[in-house]
Structure 1
């Protein structure tokens, strides 16, 4: 016959309970050490993802602006009394940029066949042939700067801004 030893069962139970009691805060402590690193990496990935999304959105807006430019239209110019083609193209880019246009601080370089770049400034006046004539090849390029939010990532970008350039090249239609 087998005899039971209740005192051994109790002591084993007490020992395992004592081990568990000593580890109650370990998971919380481990999470406290790892959580800041995980949150930092999450913010970093989100910051870079948004910067790439802004780049793609502005690329789309420039492509749509170039498509508008090569057709010779002026219908989008806010000043319809004497419409200017370049203002209509800029307005098309603003419309297609999903509200990002004022946030990226754009500067333009427009090149027509001759290879001579013309820079756009909001206070300058330009001729109606700024985007060339029918059959000319037009390159519309915008330089942009997007502010990075994550502090560690900002140190990798000059001035804390993700600087990028987007461009579209098209041939003017016979307008």
Structure 2
């Protein structure tokens, strides 16, 4: 038992850790797709600021709502049509005008909590990119 238990527990933790990593990747892919679907409509009704609703804030809020709680854990960097945006530089024009083709991409890092598994990855992080491409609808 003393020989087998540590190996078994390590294997079990590795399975759980990798499962969480893949869950985060799939959740963020879903969040980007849903946010892009919302962005192409040109709406801004999901912005929490009801007095001055902004399109970019509504799209980011849709991303957060659709990520199943993973948005804050993966430190995302949002890129639209190849241009990376920091949260301070978000603007309504970043998602394009009516009829424009937009590519929303998110660079994410999953940080491992298990020390032995984190040594298998650079800086203990798994880097992944998720993206969605759609054409904006004709909105006012």
What TM-score do the two structures reach when normalised by structure 2? 0.93
Work out which structure has the larger RCO, using CA pairs closer than 8 Å and 6 or more positions apart in sequence: 2
Match of residue 129 from structure 2: 165
CA–CA separation in structure 1 for the residues paired with 2:26 and 2:88: 28
Please show how residues 20-169 of structure 1 align to structure 2 within 5 Å. 31-111=1-81, 117-126=82-91, 128-169=92-133
CA–CA separation in structure 1 for the residues paired with 2:78 and 2:47: 17
CA–CA separation in structure 1 for the residues paired with 2:60 and 2:116: 35
SS at 2:89 equivalent: coil
1:64-88 Cα offsets, whole Å, 9 max, x none, are: 0000000111001122333221111
CA–CA separation in structure 2 for the residues paired with 1:81 and 1:33: 63
Structure 1 unaligned segments of length 5 or more: list them: 1-30, 112-116
1:126-168 Cα offsets, whole Å, 9 max, x none, are: 2x32211222111000111111122221011111111111111
Match of residue 14 from structure 1: none
Tell me the C-alpha RMSD between the 2 structures. Answer: 1.3
Moved more, 56-65 or 147-156: 147-156
Aligned residue-pair number = 139
Structure 2 unaligned segments of length 5 or more: list them: none
The Cα of 1:125 is off from its aligned counterpart by 4.9
SS at 2:45 equivalent: coil
What TM-score do the two structures reach when normalised by structure 1? 0.75
The higher radius of gyration belongs to: 1
CA contact (8 A) 2:56 2:90 kept: no
